């Protein structure tokens, strides 16, 4: 199943390992290492990163939506209205 992670970006839910907040030092290091290796996908459209999706293939996807919002979409499988993108 595919879910919307904000601003027209969609990911495959079966490939998501974790959805975490970007605030902790270990997650910041994880993101920095992924950027250096070219394994980070920035889906924030220039906005502040509010969640980090860790994918099966060691890639990291950055989203401007809150982790709770994305987790809720994964659990329910529902697509929100376009107006729900900006938090």
Residue 14 in domain = yes
Whether residue 43 is contained in a domain is answered as yes
Mean pLDDT by 10 residues, the chain (87 residues): 95 96 97 98 97 97 97 81 53
Number of domains comprising the chain: 1
Q: Which helix (H) or strand (E) holds 39?
A: none
Q: Which of 34, 37, 69, 72 is nearest to 54 (CA)?
A: 34
- 23 falls within a domain: yes
Range of the domain at 13: 2-78
Quick check: pTM over 0.85? yes
Domain assignment present for 84: no
CA distance 67 to 80: 15
Which three-class secondary structure state does DSSP give residue 62?
strand
């Amino acid at each position: 199943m595919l879910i919307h992670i904000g601003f027209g970006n969609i990911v495959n839910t079966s490939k998501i390992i974790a959805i975490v907040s970007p605030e902790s030092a270990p997650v910041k290091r994880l993101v920095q290492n992924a950027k250096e290796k070219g394994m980070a996908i920035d889906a924030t459209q220039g906005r502040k990163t509010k969640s980090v999706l860790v994918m099966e293939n060691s890639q990291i996807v950055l989203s401007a939506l809150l982790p709770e919002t994305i987790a809720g979409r994964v659990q329910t499988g529902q697509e929100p209205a376009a107006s729900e993108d900006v938090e």
